[in-house]
Amino acid sequence: MLITVNLDLYRYEIHSLVKAFYPEENVRAVVPGLSKKIPEETPFMEVAFERDRIRVRILPEGPEASAEGSGPAMNEKSRECKTLLKHLLYDFLASYTGRDLPWGELIGIRPTKIAMQKLLDGAGEEETVSFLMEEHRVSREKADLAVDIALREKRILSGIHYEDGYSLYIGIPFCPTTCLYCSFTSFPLAAWRDRVDAYLDALEKEIRSTASLMKEKILDTVYIGGGTPTTLEPAQMDRLLGLLEECFPMDRVREFTVEAGRPDSITPEKLAVMKAHGVSRISVNPQTMKEESLRLIGRRHTVEDTVRAFGMAREAGFDNINMDIILGLPEETGEDVEETIRAIRALSPDSLTVHSLAVKRASRLQQWIEKNGFSSIRNTDECMKTAAEGAAAMGMVPYYLYRQKNMSGNFENVGYAREGCFGIYNILIMEEKQTILALGAGSITKAVFPGGRIERSDNCKDVATYLETVDEMIARKHRLLGKGNQPV
Q: What is the pLDDT of residues 43-84, one digit of tens each?
A: 999 999 999 999 999 988 766 789 999 999 999 999 999 999
At 211-233, the pLDDT tens digits run 999 988 999 999 999 889 999 99
* Helix, coil or strand: residue 422: coil
Fold of 160-439: pyruvate-formate lyase- activating enzyme (3.80.30)
What is the spatial distance between Cα 149 and Cα 426, in angstroms, rounded to a whole number? Answer: 13
pLDDT at residue 171 in the model: 96
Q: Which of 275, 204, 194 is nearest to 234 (CA)?
A: 275
At 262-289, the pLDDT tens digits run 899 999 999 999 999 999 999 999 999 9
pLDDT > 90: percent of the chain: 76
Burial of 261 (0-12, 13-18, 19+ CB in 10 A): buried
What is the spatial distance between Cα 480 and Cα 474, in angstroms, rounded to a whole number? Answer: 10
User: CA-CA-CA-CA torsion for 182, 359, 105, 29, nearest 10 degrees?
Assistant: 110
**What pLDDT band is residue 487 in, cutting at 50, 70 and 90?**
low
The structural domains of the chain, with segments of one domain joined by +, span 2-97, 111-147, 160-439
What is the spatial distance between Cα 221 and Cα 240, in angstroms, rounded to a whole number? Answer: 16
Mean pLDDT of all residues in 336-352: 97
Burial of 266 (0-12, 13-18, 19+ CB in 10 A): buried
Q: Which of 425, 342, 469, 335 is nearest to 153 (CA)?
A: 425
Fold of 2-97: Rossmann fold (3.40.50)
pLDDT at residue 318 in the model: 97
